[in-house]
């Protein structure tokens, strides 16, 4: 009886899909590959093969996570650049009481130049804000693209299930297990 339970256990494999770990039956190709592999009595060779498989799986996982980290770092740098551009421009200091009386004595053309300077400052601020909004829009598009790609990946995992196959293929997959 014990050997039957052990054989059933050998037909299962652990799968790591992102942060979700689950147990599933080995696929038919995995079982056939194990059957065609020459039986080795060398436990060291088996351990080396196991370590190599683990190493390949971990390197693949590391690459996936590194790509995701790189994307987030690019977005972070973009936000930091937007933040530095968004720093408020210093407004011209308000005239003191003594300069206020002097400005009242100034002829109207000089008053006109100070108004122009204020308008120019406000236009520059509006352009900076427009650039920030454009950068945020681009960042949102990037995040939306990432989300859509992840959604498609999740959808595909459900589409690949054997239940969507033809009825005869479904029956065959059920009888194989």
Query: Within a domain: residue 42?
Result: no
Residues of the domain holding 21: 1-32
Is residue 22 assigned to a domain?
yes
Q: How far apart are CA 148 and CA 68, in angstroms?
A: 14
b vs e for 38-57, b when ≥16 Cβ sit within 10 Å of the residue's Cβ?
eeeeeeeeeeeeeeeeeeee
Distance between CA atoms of 36 and 9, rounded to whole angstroms? Answer: 20
**Is residue 46 included in any domain, yes or no?**
no
Q: Is residue 86 part of a domain?
A: no
Q: What per-residue confidence (pLDDT) applies to 34?
A: 53
Residue 2 forms part of a structural domain: yes
Q: Provide the domain count of the chain.
A: 1
pTM: 0.36
Task: Compute the half-sphere exposure of residue 118: CA atoms within 13 Å on the CB side of its CA.
Answer: 9
Question: Does an H or E element contain 84, and which?
Answer: helix 43-85
Would you say residue 28 lies in a domain?
A: yes
Q: What is the pLDDT along the chain (177 residues), one digit of tens a residue?
A: 344 444 444 677 878 877 788 778 777 654 445 555 555 578 888 899 999 999 998 898 899 889 888 888 888 888 788 777 766 655 555 555 555 455 455 455 566 777 888 888 899 989 888 988 888 898 899 889 999 999 999 998 888 777 777 888 778 777 775
User: What string of DSSP letters covers 116-130?
Assistant: HHHHHHHHHHHHHHH
């Amino acid at each position: 009886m014990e050997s039957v339970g052990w054989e059933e256990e050998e037909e299962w494999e652990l799968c790591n899909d992102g942060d979700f770990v689950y147990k599933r039956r080995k696929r038919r190709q995995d079982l056939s590959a194990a059957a065609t592999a020459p039986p080795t009595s060398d436990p060291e060779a088996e351990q080396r093969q196991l370590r190599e498989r683990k190493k390949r799986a971990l390197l693949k996982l590391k690459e996936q996570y590194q790509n995701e980290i790189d994307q987030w770092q690019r977005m972070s740098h973009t936000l930091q650049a937007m933040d530095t551009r968004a720093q408020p421009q210093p407004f011209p200091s308000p005239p003191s009481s003594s300069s206020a009386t002097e400005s009242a004595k100034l002829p109207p053309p000089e008053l006109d130049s100070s108004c122009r300077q204020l308008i120019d400052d406000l236009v520059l601020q509006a352009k900076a804000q427009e650039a920030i909004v454009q950068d945020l829009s681009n960042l949102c598009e990037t995040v939306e693209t990432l989300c859509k790609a992840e959604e498609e990946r999740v959808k595909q995992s459900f589409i690949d299930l054997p239940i969507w196959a033809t009825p005869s293929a479904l029956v065959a997959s059920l009888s194989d297990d």
